[in-house]
Structures are given as structure tokens and as C-alpha cells.
Amino acid sequence: MRFLIIVCLIPIIACSNQAEDKRSTNEATAFDTTTVIKEGQKITQAAFSTLSSNLQQAIAEGGVKNALQFCSIRAMPLTDSLSAHYNVELRRASHQPRNPKNQADSLEVATIQKYLVQIKKEESLEPVTIAHGDKINYHAPIRIPGQLCLNCHGRPGQDISKADLKTIQELYPNDQATGFEMGELRGIWSVQFSQSYVDSLAKTL
């Protein structure tokens, strides 16, 4: 598996290598990509498991409408609780967000655009690690895996019922997250580690 390290310098984003001159104290230092990716995968898998199990329970208790209401109220707090548990900044970011708080920032948009190009080329999507300022970022793709997701994110009138579309519009007046098809990129997992967190991982090797 090939992993990409992008070292981002403010205000210019540029690629760097380990032969680079000494960094200033407010920039992330060299890190082990494989270790960061493993930690990112562990955290995002825990987040996926937590969110999906709660979502499935909401559907079982009250159908798609109940799931939509659950997401509008509980998805962000659950994600925030995992951020606090792991002492990282964890979120789901999208170029077509449902919740405006999940709008991808410029760094996340760059990764999303990269993934979209790879999908067109039918290439596999791999996690990305990015050093930006004094933080290490982990990004991984979120794709539409099945019909369950299309009930809320698919095509209105075909995958999404009229009643459920009305609920979406009531809960999210500025929704951009419909019209997706199976396998399309919904967004990315975004995990931001502090340098001290990454340094502590290195000590466990």
C-alpha cells in the first residue's frame, strides 16, 4: 500500500521530504506514516461502529424519519464524545454536506478532489496523512455502501420518499446531500492529531 505524505506550509502548500532543513517550532516534525494511519483507522472504525449501531437502532424504532431526527440531534455529540475520548479532533467532512458544520475545509477539499479523480480512473482510495502547521491530519474516504444510505442520500422520488424528503428539508434547509448513487464519495473521515499525540505513538513502537 502506498501512502502519501503531504507537508503543508502556510501560506503555500508544498511537498517536502526528510532532507528538508530544520523546521520552526510551530510546524509538525517527521512522523511514521504507517503508525498514524493505523491509529486513524482505529479511531474512525470506532466512530463508524458507534454511529452505525445507533443509526440502525433509530431505524428499527421509527424508520427513516426517526433516523433523520437522530442524526440531526445525536450524530455531532457522538462524534464529539469520541474526539474527547481519543484526545483528537474527529469529524466527517463533505463537499456536499447535510449539516453545514460538516462542510469540508480547504485541506479536506483537496483530499476529496483527489479521491474523486481516483474514482474516475477506477483507482483504489487509500488513507492520506498530511502535516499542516503543528498538526498531523488523517483522511480516509467515506463512500455510499448500500441502499440503507440511499434512503437518506439517494435520488429524491426514487430512493428517498416524498415524506422523508420533506423531513430532510425541515431539518436541514440548506441540505446538499442528496442525489448520490451506490459507491459514490460521500465525504471523508478527518482526524487531526497533535504533535505530542503522534510522538507518544512513536514511543510505543
**Could you report the per-residue pLDDT of 69-101, keeping only the tens digit for each?**
999 999 999 999 999 999 999 999 999 999 999
- pLDDT average, residue stretch 145-171: 95
Of the candidates 131, 134, 149, 129, which has an alpha carbon nearest to the alpha carbon of residue 189? 129
* Grid coordinates of 15: 511537498
Render pLDDT for 7-59 as a digit per residue (tens, 0 to 9): 333 332 333 333 333 333 345 567 889 999 999 999 999 999 999 999 999 99
- 87 three-class SS: coil
Question: How do strand 89-93 and strand 185-194 relate by DSSP bridges?
Answer: antiparallel
Of the candidates 68, 21, 40, which has an alpha carbon nearest to the alpha carbon of residue 177? 68
Q: According to DSSP H, which parts of 71-172 are helical?
A: 76-86, 106-120, 147-153, 162-171
Number of helices (H), then strands (E), belonging to the chain: the values are 6, 5
What per-residue confidence (pLDDT) applies to 29?
62
- 107 three-class SS: helix
Kindly report whether the global pTM for this prediction surpasses the value 0.95: no
The string of DSSP codes covering 176-196 is ---S--TT-EEEEEEEEEEHH
Are 198 and 136 contacting, i.e. CB atoms less than 8 angstroms apart?
yes
- State CA 135 to chain mean position distance: 16
Are 133 and 12 contacting, i.e. CB atoms less than 8 angstroms apart?
no
- pLDDT average, residue stretch 120-137: 96
- 1 or 55: whose pLDDT is higher? 55
Q: Where are the domains of the chain?
A: 32-203
What per-residue confidence (pLDDT) applies to 28?
58
What distance in Å separates the CA atoms of residue 16 and residue 1, rounded to the nearest whole number?
20
